[in-house]
Copies of this chain bind each other. A is one copy, B any other.
Amino acid sequence: MKILIDAFGGDNSPDEIIEGALLALAERQDFTASLIGKKDIIEEKLAGKSFDGSRVEIIDAADVISCEEEPTLAVRRKPDSSIVKGIKLLKDEEEYKAFVSAGSTGAVLVAATLKLGRIEGISRPSLCPILPTLSGGKVFLTDSGANADCKAINLAQFAVMASVYAESLGINEPKVALLSNGTEDEKGNALNHETFPILKEMKGINFIGNMEARDILSGKADIVVTDGFSGNIALKSIEGAVKTVMKAIKDAAFSSFSAKIGGLMLKKPLGALKETLDYNNKGGALFLGVNKPVIKAHGSSGRLAFKNAVLQAVDYAWFDLKDKITERLALSGAEISR
């Protein structure tokens, strides 16, 4: 099984991406890493490193799409970019089972939607990261940014897809909540008012009602459904707040001599906490709803985060999410005809 890896995506590419791929290769034996990007540079970076050469393939891609480029234009104009070339190979060649990139989110989503196509019956694919809860659980936040404007049918489909996804990771009858500005049934904006009764009636998901943003990390729901704008606000608000508090604690631990000693003694548990809460290190976000697995790793991924994203891609490649999503959609009655 071959996993396509965009070696030229992300703030720390290509070095940390290549290192991450090698770490993933060392940890798991059941895949080949197909590194896409400027061949000479990849070869140069690999030189002298220890790895099983038969499990690494280099695919030359002369171009790179940067995060500053307008995604649709960039995808159209740069067929030789690592993103477009990778997605195209994923579509055309059966041996490639998944694509991982830490590059431009917009370009990855546009290329995946245009070239791989949507799963039958799906109106809009959704970006679905997994947030860690303190108790070691998982929360699926969908959509976290692929679709800034959504209709009720989109949210209904996000709920179905994330349910299938969560089940594939061993969560039984995952609890689905609708993100809202209050817990009462009648709370929400116009989109919520349309979506709530659909989720309530729909078969194939375990809908538990509205949820406030303050409860996202509580573990009360396994899946939090919302439009991509609100999901992005929630995700990044949490990210910013966690970062702010962790930095403040670091500063607090240097505020006096006794605090400094206290900080040293707390270093280990605080480090573990940071590790637990940093969803970026857990791997990437699955782009749910296109025909083959595409994983978007965080742009700031270092080697460990990227290693996890690659291993996640290997996992997804084994799951039969596509057929299961089609089946569940039919059961739910939320499929669209095209």
Contact = CB atoms under 8 A, between A and B. Distances in A.
Nearest to A245: B245
Contact of A242 (B179, B232, B245, B259): B245
A168 interface: no
A261 interface: yes
Interface string A254-274: 011011011111111110110
A295 to B, nearest CB: 20
Nearest to A212: B236
Interface string A61-83: 00000000010000000000000
A71 to B, nearest CB: 11
A228 interface: yes
7 contacts: A148-B188, A149-B189, A149-B190, A181-B228, A218-B244, A252-B269, A255-B269
A259 B248 contact: no
A81 to B, nearest CB: 19
Interface in A196-244: 212-218, 226-230, 232-244
Contacts of A238: 237-238, 240-241
Interface in A265-309: 265-270, 272-273, 276-277
Interface of A: 70, 134, 145, 148-149, 179, 181, 186, 188-190, 192, 212-218, 226-230, 232-249, 251-253, 255-256, 258-259, 261-270, 272-273, 276-277
A277 B192 CA distance: 30
Contacts of A248: 134, 273, 276-277
A240 B179 CA distance: 14
Given A213-B232, A233-B179, A259-B268, A245 B246 contact: yes
B234 A233 contact: yes
A245 B247 CA distance: 12
B237 A214 contact: yes
A223 B312 CA distance: 39
A181 B237 contact: no
B269 A259 contact: yes
Contacts of A265: 258-259, 261-263, 265
A249 B273 contact: yes
A46 to B, nearest CB: 34
A218 B243 CA distance: 10
A277 B247 CA distance: 12
Contact of A247 (B134, B239, B262): B134
A217 B188 contact: no
A253 B263 CA distance: 10
A74 B18 CA distance: 62
A229 B192 CA distance: 10
B181 A233 contact: yes
Contacts of A266: 249, 252-253, 259, 262-263, 266
Nearest to A215: B240
Contact of A272 (B226, B227, B252, B276): B252
A298 to B, nearest CB: 12
B188 A214 contact: no
A299 to B, nearest CB: 12
A237 B141 CA distance: 13
